Structure 1
Amino acid sequence: MTGSPVSGERGRHGDGPTTGGALPVADSSRLRRAAFRLIRLDWRAFSVMVVLNALASAAGLAGPWLLGRIIDEVQNGAGVATVDRLALALLGLALAQFLLARYAGLIGHRFGERTLARIREEFTGRVLALPVGVVERAGAGDLTTRGTADVAAVGTMLRGAGPDVLIASVQAVFVLGAVVVLDPLLGGCGVLGLTGIWFAARWYMRRAVPAYLAEGAANSELAEQLAATTAGARTVEALGLGRRRLETCQEAIGRCRATRTRTLFLRSVLFPIVDVSYAIPVVAVLLVGGVLLGQGAVTLGTVVAAALYLRQLSQPLDVILLNMERLQSGAASFARVEGAGLAPRADHDAAAPEPADDRLQVSGVHYAYDGGPDVLHGVDLTVRPGERLAVVGPSGAGKTTLGRLLAGMDVPRAGSVTVGRVPVAGLDPARLRERVMLVTQEHHVFLGTVRDNLRIAAPEATDDELRTALAAVGASWIDELPDGLDTEPGPGGERLDGAQAQQLALARVVLADPHTLILDEATALLDPRTARHTERALAAVLAGRTVIAIAHRLQTAHDADRVAVLRDGRLTELGTHDELVTAGGAYAALWRSWHGGHPE
C-alpha cells in the first residue's frame, strides 16, 4: 500500500529512481523558531529551571564577597564573633547554592527528556508523512543517521550540554556583574581581559556549524554505503565486486576522517587560547588593584574579592567552552533532524472531492526522475473498475514507473493520473489507501508476532480472519510455526524465508481489501506454480476489485482481462491476450518466446 506497511518497505526497481537525494538541513532561523516552540510547549519547567539557576548563581556570589569582608574586618580589628558570623553565612549560602543548583539540574534534565521525546515523535511523524519517492531518494543511510546518531546528539545536548551551559552562562553574567559592583574599574579590567576568549569563541563558532554539518553528511554517506554493501552481500560476492565496494567504502571512510579531523583542528585552536586567556583578567585586576590599593582607592578585601570572582569565572567559562563542541554538534544534528520537515511533500488537498468511482485515467503522462530524461512519453490509459489489467514489457520500459504514478507515489511532469476524475496524488494518504494499494516484491516483517504483522492492515481482525487471509495466499506454513499466530518472526525468533515474508505481505493486502490493487512483481520470490496459485487466489478473494499486475511472467497476462504493452516509455499495444497474439506484434513475439519454455 502506498505509504503504508502493507506493501512492505522501500525498494529500488529496474526502471525506478536510483539517484540519491539527502533530505534538507534546516537553517538557523528555522532552528530558532523550533527551539522557541519546544520551550513554549514546556515553558513552566523551563521558567522554573531558569529561576532556580539564577538563585543558585546569586547564592554563589556571596563567597568571594564574604571572604573580602572577613579580610577587611580582620584588618580593621574585628573580633572572632564577627568572623564566625560571616563564615557561617558563607557556609549557609554555599549549601543553598548546592541545593538550588541540584534541583535546577533535575528540572533541566526532565525538561530535556520531555523535549527529546517530542523531537523523536515529530521526526518519526515527519518521515512517515514523506512521499515514498522522497524516502527512497534520501536513502537508508541518511534516514538512519538522522533518526539515531543525530537524535542521540540532540538528546545529549538537551540532557547535559544545554542545561549546563545555561547554568554556567547565568553564573558568568552574575560574576562579572559582581566585579563591576565591587569596583567599576576593576570590573572593566576583568571584562577587557576576557576579550581573547570572545574572539576565539567567535572564530570557532563561525566555522564549527558548517564543519559539524559536513561531518554529519559524511557519516550519512558512509552509513548508506555500508548498508548497501551489507544488504547486497550475496550479489557483491557473486559478481566479484568486493574490491570495488571496499574501495567505495574506504573513500567514504576517508571523507569521514577528513571532516572529523577538521572539527578536531577547530578545538585544538580554541582550547589553548582559552586556557591562556583565563589568567589575563586575574593578573590585570591584581596589577590595577595593587595600584589603587596603594592610593587608598580600594580596600584589600575588595581587590581579593575581585580577583577571586574572576578566578571563579573560569569554572562557568570552562563549562561553556567545553560544552561548546556538544552544542555545535547538537545544533548541527538538530538542523538535520528538523530538516526532515523541509523535504518536498505531496500536495494533498483535504478539500478534494470524493472520487466519483474507481476508474483510473492516465492522460498524456510524461515523467522523469530527478530532472533526467523522460522515462514515460505521453502515456494514455484507462483502467475500468473491476478490470484485471496486465502491464508487460522489457526491463526499463517504464512499467514500475507507471505503477508508482497510478499509486500516487510520484506526480507526472506533464499530464494527469486520476481516480474517479480526482488527481490520485492530490488525495490525502488515508483516502488514497482506501482507493489504491501498491504491492512490490520488496517486503518487510515487523517486530512482533505474526498476528501483529497482519493486524497492521486490519487492527480489528479476528484470528479466523487472519488465518483466512493467510490461506488465501497459500501460506499453509502458518500451521507449522511453533506458536502459530503468536510466533515472533525475525531475528531472535522464527526466521521466515523470502517467499514466506512475501506471502505475509500479500495476506495484509487481503485484509486491507483495497478498491484497486497494483501488483509490481509482488509474487517474484515465489516459485512459478505457487505464484500462479497465489495470483489466482488473490483474484478470487478480490473479485470485483481492480487489479493491475506488472509482470514478467506472461501467464499473468494470459489470465488478465486486458494487456498493456510498454516499450521505451510508450504504450505500444493494448487489448486482450487473444487480440494481441492474433495481431502478431511485440506482445505476440514475447508470448511465443515465453510460451515455448513455459507450458501451461
Structure 2
Amino acid sequence: MDRNRSNSRLMKDFKVCLNGLVKLLRPILPRVLGCSFVYLLEAACSLAFVWYSKRVVDIATGLLDASLNRNVFIMVILMVAQIGFRIFSKRIEGEVSVKAKLDIRKRAFDKALSSSWNGRDKYHSADVVNRLEEDIRVVSEFLCVSLPSAVVTIVQLIAAATMLFIFSSKLAWIIIWIMPVAVVAARLYFKKLRALSSDIRTLDGRIQGHIQEHLQSRILIKTLGAEKMVGDKLDKLQHDELSKTRTRLDYSAISRFFMQAGFSAGYLTAFLWGVYGLRDGSVTYGLMVAFLQLVGQVQRPVASLASYIPAFIKALSSEVRLLDIDEMKNDATQGQRILSGALSVSVKNLCFSYENGTKVFDDFSCDFESGELTAVCGPTGKGKSTLAALILGVLKPNSGSITISNKKENIPVGMDTRGNFMYVPQGNSLLSGTIKENLLLARPNATEEELADVLHCAAADFVFDLPLGIDTQCSEVGKGLSEGQCQRIAIARALLHDGGILILDESTSALDPATEMTVLERLHERYYHSKTIICITHRVAVADLADHVISL
C-alpha cells in the first residue's frame, strides 16, 4: 500500500515537473524549432552521403554505369554541407541556450524578489542563487540543446533504419533488436538516478551557502579561531556530494556498458554480414560500405537517446528546485494606495505568532500620532522589529487590525500601502555599486540638489569629502565604509522615497551619541508635522527626544 502510494506520488511529481518544463519551453519554442531545422538539414546530408558512398564504390567496381567524378563531387559537397550545418547549428544552439537561460533567470529572479516573507526565509540566499544559476543552466541546456537534438535524433534513426531496411531487411531487424537492450537498462536506473541528481543539487546548494556565509563572516571566523571547524564542515559536505556523485557515476557506467556492448555487437554483425555476403555474392562492396555507415547511423542515434536520459533526469531534478521558487507566494500588487499629508498609524487588538508557534503579540494596541516622532523601546526579542514588519504589511497579523489614515481616509495596511512608508532596516543595507546608485534606488530621477539635501539631513555630508565623492564604490554590504557611514547613507536613501511615514529600525545603532542626536534632530526638525517618524531603539537619549514613547 505504501509502495503504491509512493509510486503514485512520484508519477504526480513527474507530471508536475514535465508540465513545468513545457511551460518554460513555450516562450522559446520558435528558437528551438529553428535550431532543430538546422539539425535536420545536417542529418539529411549525412544520410545522403551514405547513399552516394554506395554509388561511388559501385561505380568504381563496375556494377553501376554512371559518372564517377560527378558522384564524387556530390559527395564532397555533402561533406562540406555537413560541416557547415554542424558549425552553424552549434552557433545557433549556443545563442538560443544563452537567451533561454537569461529569460528563465529573469522570470525566476522577479518571482523570488517579489515573494512574500513570513519572518523567516525558507531557503538560504546562496541556495536560491544556486537555483538561479546552476539549475537554470541545466534546464535551459536541456530545452535548447538536448531536447531538439533528441527529436532530430529520432527522425535520423527512423530515416537510417528505413534505408537499412531497403538494403537488407534481415540485417535491419537484427540491428534494431540488439540496441533496445540499452534502453531497457537505462529505464532500470531512471528513478535511482533522478533521486541521486536531486540530492546532489541540494548538497551543491548547501555547499554554496556554507562558502558564501563564512566568507562574508571571515573576520568573525578568524577571531573565534574557528577556521578548522568551518573547513571540516565543508569537507563533510563535499565528501557527501562526492559519495553520491560516485554512486551516480556507477549507475551511468552500467548503462554505458550495455550501450557500448550493443553498439559493438551491431557493428560486428553488420561487418560479418557484409563479409559473408561478399563471399557468396549477395552483397556488393558498395552495399557493404553502406551497411557499415548505416549501422553507425542507426546506433549513434540510439546511443545519443540513451545519453539524453541523464540530461532529462537532471533537468527534472532542477525543475523541481525551480518550481519551489515559482510556487513562492507573490505579494506584489498592481497598484499602490498613497495617502497624502502626515499619516497616523493605529494598531488595534493585534495578535501575531510566527509559523513555529512563537507568540509575539497578544491583544496589543497602540497609536502613532501623525507628524510626530514616536520611539518604540523594549528589550531584545520583545517584537519591536516584528511590529515594524507588521506596520509595513510585510507580515500579516493573526487577528486585530493595523490602519493608516490622514484627515480624509482610513485604510488597512497591506501590500498596496507600502508606498506610504520610508523604511531603514537594521544593519547594513547598502548594495554593491556607487553611493549615488544606492540613493537612486529610492528615486531614480533625483537631482544632484536633492541628493545633497537628503545626505545633509542624514548627517552624511562626509560623502562629499571622499576622493570620488558620491561616485565612491560600495563593496558587498557596504564594505569599504564604516557601519555608521553606511547607516547614514541608508537613511538618506529612505528620505528620497515618497511616503508619509518614516520607520527607523535600529538605524542609528552604529552612530556615536552626538552624531545620532544630530541625525534625529535634523529629521525631527525637517519633518515635524509633515511626516510621522517611528524610531525603534534601545537608547534612552532617543526616547527623551521623542514626542511619544511606546514600551514593549
The TM-score with structure 2 as length reference comes to 0.85
Q: Find out whether 1:136 has 2:125 as its counterpart.
A: no
- What residue in structure 2 maps to residue 59 of structure 1? 45
Query: Structure 1 residues 398, 542: CA separation in 2 closer, same or farther (over 3 Å shift)?
Result: same
Deviation at 1:504, TM superposition (A): 0.9
Asked whether the 8 Å contact 1:150–1:337 carries over to 2, the reply is yes
Which stretch of the first structure deviates more once superposed, 337-346 or 310-319?
310-319
Match of 1:260 in 2: 245
Counterpart-to-counterpart distance in 1, 2:515 and 2:449: 23
Are residues 117 and 238 of structure 1, via their aligned partners in 2, closer, same or farther at CA, if it must alter by over 3 Å?
closer
> For the structure 1 residues 76 and 140, does the alpha-carbon distance in structure 2 shift closer, same or farther, using more than 3 Å as the test?
same
Q: Give the Cα–Cα distance (whole angstroms) in 1 for the partners of residues 364 and 280 of structure 2.
A: 95
Match of 2:255 among 270, 279, 290: 270
Query: Which of 399, 404, 425 in structure 1 is aligned with 2:414?
Result: 425
1:559 maps onto 2:545 in alignment: yes
| Structure 1 counterpart SS, 2:123 | helix
Cα gap change, 1:301 to 1:206, in 2 (>3 Å): farther
- What is residue 340 of structure 1 aligned with on the other side? 325
Letter in 1 for 2:509: A
Alignment match of 2:89 (pick from 104, 113, 125): 104
- In the aligned structure 2, how far is the partner of 1:52 from the partner of 1:167? 10
Amino acid in the other structure paired with 1:554 = V
The residue that corresponds to 1:499 in the other structure is 484
Cα distance in 1 for partners of 2:16, 2:482 equals: 45
- How far does residue 234 in structure 1 lie from its aligned partner after superposition? 3.8
Kindly tell me: are residues 351 and 437 of structure 1, through their superposed partners in 2, closer, same or farther at Cα, counting changes over 3 Å?
A: closer
RMSD: 3.4
Q: Distance in 2 between matches of 1:281 and 1:554?
A: 86
- Cα shift at 1:337: 3.5
Aligned residues of 2:504 and 2:536 also touching (Cα < 8 A): yes
Tell me whether 1:48 sits opposite 2:34 in the alignment: yes
Instruction: Determine if contact 2:112/2:328 at 8 Å carries over to the other structure.
Output: no
With 436-445 and 164-173 compared, the bigger mean Cα shift is at 164-173
2: CA distance between counterparts of 1:223 and 1:423?
A: 41
Give SS of 2:325's match: helix
Q: Give the Å deviation of 1:278.
A: 0.6
Q: Name the SS of the counterpart of 2:176 in structure 1.
A: helix
In 2, distance between residues paired with 1:164 and 1:540? Answer: 68
1:484-533 alpha-carbon deviations (Å, 9 max, x no partner):
22332337x99211111111111101111421122111111111221222
| Shift, 1:321, TM fit | 4.8
Return the alpha-carbon distance in structure 1 between the equivalents of residues 253 and 429 of structure 2. Answer: 46
Give the one of 54, 60, 70 matched to 1:68: 54
CA distance in structure 2 between the partners assigned to 1:117 and 1:55 by the alignment: 28
User: What is the distance in 1 between the residues matched to 2:210 and 2:31?
Assistant: 42
Amino acid corresponding to residue 539 of structure 2 in structure 1: R
| 8 Å CA contact 1:367, 1:374 repeated in 2 | yes
| Per-residue Cα deviation, 1:315-340 (whole angstroms, up to 9, x for no partner) | 44555555655554455334433532
Asked if the contact 2:182–2:306 (Cα under 8 Å) also holds between the matched residues in 1, the reply is no
Per the alignment, do residues 174 and 364 of structure 1 end up closer, same or farther by CA in structure 2, a change over 3 Å counting?
farther
**Higher relative contact order, structure no. (Cα contacts within 8 Å, ≥ 6 residues apart):** 1
Q: Cα offset for 1:289? A: 6.9
Question: Aligned partners of 1:408 and 1:545: how far apart in 2?
Answer: 19
Structure 2: distance between partners of 1:443 and 1:407: 19
Residue identity in the other structure for 2:95: R
Assess if the C-alpha contact under 8 Å between 2:377 and 2:549 holds in 1: yes
**Bigger mean CA deviation after superposition, 86-95 or 270-279:** 86-95
Taking the aligned partners of 2:190 and 2:367, their CA distance within structure 1 comes to 59
Q: Percent identity?
A: 23
Q: Which runs of 5+ in 1 are unaligned?
A: 1-25, 567-600
1:580 aligned residue: none
* Partner residue, 1:406: 391
8 Å contact kept, 2:116–2:328: no
Q: Which stretch of the first structure deviates more once superposed, 543-552 or 92-101? A: 92-101
Secondary structure of 1:419's counterpart equals strand
Distance verdict in 2 for CA 1:351–1:161, change over 3 Å = closer
Structure 1 residues 286 and 494, CA gap change in structure 2 (3 angstroms)? closer
Does the aligned pair in 2 maintain the 1:186–1:289 contact within 8 Å?
no
Find out whether 1:440 has 2:425 as its counterpart: yes
1:495 match: secondary structure: coil
- Give runs of aligned pairs for residues 236-255 of structure 1, distance below 5 A: 236-239=221-224, 241-242=226-227, 244-255=229-240
Q: Give the superposition deviation at 1:537.
A: 1.8
- 8 Å contact kept, 1:513–1:542: no
Matched, 1:228 2:224: no
Q: Compared with structure 1, are the counterparts of its residues 523 and 558 closer, same or farther at alpha carbon in structure 2 (3 Å cutoff)? A: same
CA distance 1:433–1:133, change in 2 (3 Å)? same
2:450 is aligned, of 444, 465, 470, to: 465
- Report the counterpart of residue 436 of structure 2 in structure 1: 451
